[in-house]
Structure 1
């Protein structure tokens, strides 16, 4: 069987244990996984693009060369096609994610019919975690160590301190 490349796109602001779990699950299905960190032109992010790439690379390190991390801006379609992607991985936490993700998958199929969208659910213990919740908890002085890796936790604490929000 030939190599099948999957792209897992997201803002990853910050990368959570749920994201990590989806990466792990994707590596069990695909030859290579590219974690595609969005420049985030449509979102105000807490972390810079380079910080988000660095966090994702730390998370990807245990997977060796099977998982790479790159940034993208513009149409995701162009990024996926340029890298020879045959699948796009999307994480689903709950029914509330499904409606948006279903519409997005339909649009992506229209833009790149040769690429399949694959929905993966994280482990039960991660299904409620979202980057938005993690950011809000951190900014309000709460503990986030149950939701992110130790490296991301350190970066999150440093970012909150730098903003004078601890």
Structure 2
């Protein structure tokens, strides 16, 4: 069985993330989405909320498993016998950072990293940018799946 992982904080998941996950799901038997926990950051959504949203928007793919993880991504991979990490690249600046991570990961554990060029429609997109635009009342309906838009709108109303 061919397995890969798509890691990230997904706070929240965007259409760009979803595009990379869906493309990986066409190439692998199982795609694990690792929602990485960074205790140094306060997210808008809790880990459980992120997992729930990702499960909802990837449900139709049929071969995606969503889990949280704290620690090194290569440890997540080792624990689940996952030989590949799939990462989307938006720009050259992403490549510079991600190449260093990929080289470290293969050196630590032998886990390969595959880079997937982002769909040009999402090349500018990030969770941080989506949250900022939403906080200022901008239209993000074309940037996130409908369940995420609804959840984000509800969170902003609570603030």
* TM-based fold match above 0.5: yes
User: 1:118 — aligned with what?
Assistant: 114
1:74-130 deviations in Å (ceiling 9; x for gaps): 1211111111101001111111111111111111111111x1100112221111111
Q: Does 1:143 align with 2:121?
A: no
1:62-101 aligned within 5 A: 62-64=60-62, 66-101=63-98
**2:34 paired with 1:53:** no
Structure 2: state its 5+ residue gaps: none
* Match 1:16 to one of 4, 14, 17: 14
The ranges of structure 1 where at least 4 consecutive aligned residues each deviate by more than 6 angstroms after the TM superposition are none
Offset from partner CA, 1:108-156 (integer Å, 9 cap, x none): 111111x110011222111111111001111112111110000000001
Give the total of aligned pairs.
159
TM-score by length of 2: 0.96
Q: Which residue in 2 is equivalent to 1:26?
A: 24
Give the counterpart of 2:150 among 148, 151, 154: 154
SS of the aligned residue for 2:138 comes to coil
